[in-house]
Structures are given as C-alpha cells and as structure tokens.
Structure 1
Amino acid sequence: MKYLVILGFLAIIGSLASALFFMMRDGRDGRPKTSNMARALGFRVGFSILLFVCILLAWKLGYIHPTGIPVGQ
C-alpha cells in the first residue's frame, strides 16, 4: 500500500511538472498550449481522486489502520 501511495504522489507531481512545461512553452509548434496544460491538470485531478479513493478503500478493507494522536499529548 505504501508503494501505491508513493506512486500516486509521483504521478501527481509528474502531471504538475508537465503542466508547468506546457505553460512555459511558447506555442511555436502550432498547437495551443492551453489544451495540453488543461489536459495535464485534468490528469492531476484524476490522479488525486484515484489516490483518495484507493486510500479510502484500503481503510475500509482493513489494509491500513488509523493511528491518530493519543489523548493528552
């Protein structure tokens, strides 16, 4: 489960980096940079939702357990 979360965060960071790349690129190739950037940000939102659902499902199935902060500390 730990590796799935790490992979999810790497996918989110990679999608943000590609959106930054498309934002900074000057659209010389004829394609509008906003569509590529919007697609990359859409993937980021999708990866974030997928990661949240996977963590919630793992908690419901008992793969992970909340620990919390002990009372009084």
Structure 2
Amino acid sequence: LVIPVGDDPDLQRLLKVTRTGAATYSEEDFGGVRFVPLIGEQGWPENGTVTEVGRPLRHPHPISLPDMIAAAAEP
C-alpha cells in the first residue's frame, strides 16, 4: 500500500507499507511530497471546511473484490 500521510493537504509524507507476515508489516518512507490541489466537485474545499460527500461514483461494470485484489497484487 502506498499512501500519502499527514494532516496538511499541501505537504504530506509518502509511505509504502508492505505485509511481511500474517501480522507484520514493513514501512518505507519516501519523504515529503506535494500534490496538485484537487479542484471541482471532488476537490479540496477552498475555505478549509469539510464538505458533505455525495453519492459515490459507480463503475459502469462492477468489479469483483477478487478481481480488484488480483489487479493490485505485486508478483
């Protein structure tokens, strides 16, 4: 799993978490990252307030959980 971590949407740290056993994980820190601000309906609110999320987008052809896992798996 690669994920940006941090409370500030302008500056976060990019972490890679890898399962190494049934209940163990390794973590690799790639350092500070900055992302282009998201704009529009799905973007960050301009005034810093949290907005209510609308109905989730639906994929035209639902993908099964096993297919999503297979697509994201690393060899």
TM-score category by the smaller chain?
A: under 0.3
Normalising by structure 2, report the TM-score. 0.21
The TM-score with structure 1 as length reference comes to 0.22
- Relative to its length, the structure with more strand (as a share) is 2
Q: Whose Rg is larger? A: 1
Kindly indicate which of the two structures has a greater share of residues assigned to helix: 1
